[in-house]
Structure 1
Amino acid sequence: MTGETISMLGTWMQQTAQGWVVAGLTSSAFTLGLIHFCSGIPMLLLTMHGGLAADRYDKRRILIITQVVQIVLAISIGWLVGSGQIAVWHVVVAGVLLGISTAFEMPAAAALVPELVERSQLKAAIAVDRSTFHATRLAGPALGGWLIAQLGTASAFYANALSFVALIVAMISLHPRPRGTDEEEAMRKTGMKEGFHYVRRDKPTLAMIWLLATLTTCISPFFMITMPLYSRHVLQIDAQSHGFLMASSGIGAFLGSLWLMTIKSDRRAMYLRLGAAVVCVCMLSLALAQHLWQAITAMSILTLGTSTMFGLANTIVQERAPDAIRGRVSAILGLSFFGVLPFSGLAVSEIADLVGLRVAMAGGSLLFGLSAGLLLYSHRRLCMKQPVAVAVGSEA
């Protein structure tokens, strides 16, 4: 947990710094979307292979290799920024390489958490994991903004490179996965179609994947991609204030992740609907905000809703997933975010350039409210059905 916390702090610091660097190189929202698109394409193409690798091989080794790759990328971009040679194409190339690394890191990390605890403790483990993620999301951007102001932008990239060492040490300290039953081990050697076959048949899992894809299409691009432009050109604030705005997104997200531990299974559908309503209203409020304090308030409550929805969806999927294909199911779930975001980010960025960022944010809010409302209404009895059985050699 300590290693993950330090590593995630560095990751958020670098994301804040990189967004600020790119926003200084261009005022085009489409360019920001294009950068995320280029980094997302490798994830779209390779994430299922990453899930297959997570089921077949040692997840610890996969994570160590991907951390080393990310150390090299962080140092490289930091040097380019510090020497004044950074250009948009550098960020694009680094994004593509990072996307390849993340395609293998994401399903391995998602499948590792359930592997470390008993199934009865899974909800609490996911909540703790998400609270760590969002606590660092709270502190990381603020620390990144402070480092940019005090030591220069490159320092945030170097700090991120150093932070990966803690996670590598943590991975080395873990014991290998114990061997499962003969049937489970045989299932681990099957192909990717078994993961798709399971997801297609298990309706609650499929509903959660569609819900996250909708959230990623309509809402996530605004606070994941265009927020540096929102800070620079809409609110017209400096780097440190931008860091505080991004840190405020971690406040609600952190509270939402802690809240997960208190939500009972039979009330999940209700809280998913409530989360969708909160997200819709707060995104609209963010679009209308005129001052930093208004944006911080809207962002904090917005991420409370998104964190609740992401956490509940992840818990529902992981509780139902068979151990032998958990990596592949995690990969498909991850694609509902990482696979969709490159395309939605590119589309939203182009729309923002055409109609203005405020109008695009308001439109995304309304579209999400309509889509999520229809989806959740048609799946009012989430998790009432038992998970589908998985047999070796099942056909898609």
Structure 2
Amino acid sequence: MKTDRAAAATAGLNPAAPPAIDREVERLAPRLIALRRHLHAHPEPSGQELATTAYLARLLREEGLEVRVAPAGRGLSAEPAATRRGRRVAIRADIDALRLHDAKDVPYRSLADGVCHACGHDAHTAAAVGAALALEAAAGRAGDAVPWRLILQPAEESSEGAREMIEAGAMDGVGAIIALHVDPERLLGHAAFRTGMLTAYCDEIDVTVTGSGGHAARPHHAVDPIAAAAELVSAIYQFVPRAVDSRDPVVVTFGSIHGGSTQNVIPEQVHLRGTARTHSHAATSRVEQRILEIASGIAGATGARIEVEFKRGPDAVVNDAAVTDCCRRAAADVLGADNIEDIPAASMGGEDFADYLAHAPGCLMRLGVGRPDGSTEMLHSPRFDLDESAIGIGARILARAAWRLTQPVEACDS
């Protein structure tokens, strides 16, 4: 592979920009780690990211950037104050945390009871901020002003934030969009890419099972919604996957079941919430149809009333080939070609990054944060943490990818 300078010279590009980006990220590294730790200690769940947004807006304005906070006060976009020609490359990160207890014993442990950055969004934000600041500094030092926009969105976990940012104009004038997600299943110092479908279609399921309450000793005088709910979950888990072609992946999971308040009373209602994940709209339709059929059958058998609602979530993330290739080459420049991996199959996870892709081509990449000994906790674990050197790696990849995407096409062929 050509060196940065040789490749840039061959393509007629500014060879000083990538090294300037790297130097700036190295200079910023302590600040980016401090930013990540502040966000980790002060997490806010989806839809409540007011303080997080205000903190980030203040930080970015102090850097001389033009900042636009979304109308609800959650989420922001930022870009250079001076107008630059060309369509912008957007660098997106998510700022919301999970409703989860932080079980780690670290100085930056969450101070918010029951809320925790267990999906790496704090690191995503720090890396994206680092990329933006590095691009701006490199523009002054290397004379290569990249037209970029930083999008820091709320509510990724609830699949609402991307739509809010788009409605606020965050994608206006954007020609491409890039983002990363930390991946504890891949080693630190590695990055992974997939062209085409990367994630699943992900819809929410809300179920209300209504019976008639009574004494636990006299179930014959009641209609037990807990028993009906248990049968419903079991039947869905058993029969829904068998209703769809086995070559078309389906995952239905209930993550929340609530009903009753004491041990000796049959409650009136049970509420269930879950997700249905597929790789095609046809499979989604079949899953919903089968769930309704199963619910109707169990309602008839138990005497309970079962109401099922489906909430459409984000589409699948489909990475653009050209943008992905540019990002892959940027990652190879940072990590070396031997540390770049292919993602062999789309995951069953959901990501509202897909909403942005309806407005511009883009790429969502995976950034390895796993330890060689396998001790790294998985995402959504209350003990999830990461090696903070990954933040600088992510910032360099994002900034270099944004630079490549605003250069002549040869920049992604070098």
Structure number with higher relative contact order (C-alpha < 8 Å, ≥ 6 residues apart): 1
TM-score interval for Structure 1 and Structure 2 normalised by the shorter chain: under 0.3
Q: Which has the higher helix share?
A: 1
Normalising by structure 1, report the TM-score.
0.27
